[in-house]
Amino acid sequence: MNQARTINAAERRARLGVRHALAARVDSVAAAAEAVVALHATDPATVYLSAGARVTAPALERLERELYDGSLVRLHGMRRTVFVVPAELAPVVHVSSTAAIAARERKQLLKHLAEGGLTWSEAELADVEASVVKLVEEHGEISVNRLGVLEPRLREQLVFFPGKPYEARQAIASRLITLLGMEHRIVRRSRTSGTWISGQHNWAPAPAVPELDPRAAQAELVRRWLAAFGPGTEADVKWWTGWTAGDTRKALAAAGAVAVELAEGTGYVLPEDVEPVAEPEPWAALLPALDPAPMGWQQRGFYLPEEHRAPLFDRSGNIGPTVWWNGRIVGGWASRPDGEIGWRLLEDVGGEAEAAIGREAAALGEWLGGAKVTPRFRTPLEKELAR
């Protein structure tokens, strides 16, 4: 029996830099998304900043044009997170992950309807849904606000935690339209209004989804993850996908994953990816909150020193803006009120690294054009630097 090859932390960092288009940039936003499987989009600014850190000649106008040229799709996916994915991968994400999440969301919605003061039957709910889908199809592209005007039932209120001190009310529109998107009955399109960091999107008719076997879709998603993030452990894959342990193991087996030895234990790579990877030229990067690189693994010790966690994460485990040098997180950054990029190192990295990081910060500030970017989830160091 052949002994599994050991891949140390230094090689994992080299792989991260090369595979994630950080050591050498790519020429399109679609290629940047493909390099990390999917761009996180829970925070609208993250998509732009993650793409801008990976493409040559980033500029807001260029990034926005490519984000909405049809090569990318925005959807709920793994762990119920909103992602921007290459169009050809969208069916794989939907079948492998989103469809099961949508089924759970529908059960939750029915429960909230019963508890929240709306006496809709399932038949009436289905009628409202059919009305929304028809309106979207008739208009081709339409905003949530306009849908609420044309279908008044969307403005009816759900009551959450009735009778409690923290009772809250919410129009059913946001829950129902999000669910229809998860079920791929409608899809997000461009923003409706506001700046490039706006989270408002129009909705459009959903294209047909190719018939895929869920197990095959899960195997394909794992193959994509291993190509971008491998090696990783079973725990990493389970965390990133949000699947059960059983589904994760079956997908790894179906993907033909090969075992290797990591400091964390057994890891996996694709069969064609066992050989050593050369160290790239030194590189620096400023990555945004929730960027796919720091959010790609559950076990982060090979690129994140334990002592850096407290200033860089919020209480819910969301990572803030980070400064990288040669595959390690070495500090954090923030956008200040005047648009300047402030950054701080959390360890001594030497003069060459500091100079390279300074150049990256200046370049980021330049293409942002003085725009102030505040992450949706604030972290201690980001809040301090943003003053």
Q: What is the pLDDT of residues 236-268, one digit of tens each?
A: 999 999 999 999 999 999 999 999 999 999 999
Which pLDDT score is estimated for 192? Answer: 58
Amino acid at 299: Q
Mean pLDDT of the chain: 94
Pairing of strands 284-287, 322-325: antiparallel
pLDDT band at 308 (very low <50, low <70, confident <90, very high): very high
Decide if 336 is inside a domain.
yes
Q: Please, is 161 exposed, middle or buried when counting C-beta atoms within 10 Å of its C-beta (0-12, 13-18, 19+)?
A: exposed
Spatial distance between the Cα atoms of 228 and 266, rounded to a whole number of angstroms: 18
Q: What is the pLDDT of residues 210-227, one digit of tens each?
A: 889 999 999 999 999 999
Mean pLDDT of 143-155: 94
Please say whether the dihedral angle defined by the alpha carbons of residues 223, 225, 228 and 230, taken in this order, is positive or negative: negative
Q: What is the DSSP string of 214-233?
A: HHHHHHHHHHHHHHHH-SEE
Mean pLDDT is lowest, of 74-88, 166-180, 296-310, for 166-180
1, pLDDT greater than 60: no
Number of domains the chain is built from: 1
Decide if 122 is inside a domain.
no
Q: What is the pLDDT of residues 131-148, one digit of tens each?
A: 999 999 999 999 999 999
pLDDT band at 193 (very low <50, low <70, confident <90, very high): low
Decide if 105 is inside a domain.
no
60, pLDDT greater than 90: yes
Which pLDDT score is estimated for 111? Answer: 86
Q: What is the pLDDT of residues 175-185, one digit of tens each?
A: 999 999 999 99
Residue 222 to residues 32, 236, 371, 377, Cα–Cα distance (Å)? 18, 11, 37, 28
Decide if 176 is inside a domain.
no
pLDDT band at 24 (very low <50, low <70, confident <90, very high): very high
Mean pLDDT of 42-46: 93
190, pLDDT greater than 70: no
Decide if 56 is inside a domain.
no
Q: What is the pLDDT of residues 162-176, one digit of tens each?
A: 778 888 888 899 899
Residue 183 to residues 135, 152, 160, 244, Cα–Cα distance (Å)? 17, 22, 23, 21
pLDDT band at 191 (very low <50, low <70, confident <90, very high): low
Amino acid at 365: G
pLDDT band at 2 (very low <50, low <70, confident <90, very high): low
pLDDT band at 353 (very low <50, low <70, confident <90, very high): very high
Which segment, 60-64, 113-117, 196-200, is predicted with the most confidence on average? 60-64
pLDDT band at 194 (very low <50, low <70, confident <90, very high): low
128, pLDDT greater than 80: yes
- List the domain range (segments joined by +) for residue 373: 304-385
Decide if 371 is inside a domain.
yes
Q: What is the pLDDT of residues 228-243, one digit of tens each?
A: 999 999 999 999 999 9
Spatial distance between the Cα atoms of 372 and 194, rounded to a whole number of angstroms: 14
Q: pTM for the full model? A: 0.94
Mean pLDDT is lowest, of 8-12, 113-117, 296-300, for 113-117
Which pLDDT score is estimated for 112? Answer: 83
Decide if 326 is inside a domain.
yes
pLDDT band at 38 (very low <50, low <70, confident <90, very high): very high
Mean pLDDT of 13-24: 98
Q: What is the DSSP letter of 120?
A: -
Decide if 322 is inside a domain.
yes
Which pLDDT score is estimated for 195? Answer: 78
Which pLDDT score is estimated for 166? Answer: 81
Report residue 89 as tokens.
């991968």
Provide the percentage of residues in the chain whose pLDDT is more than 70: 98
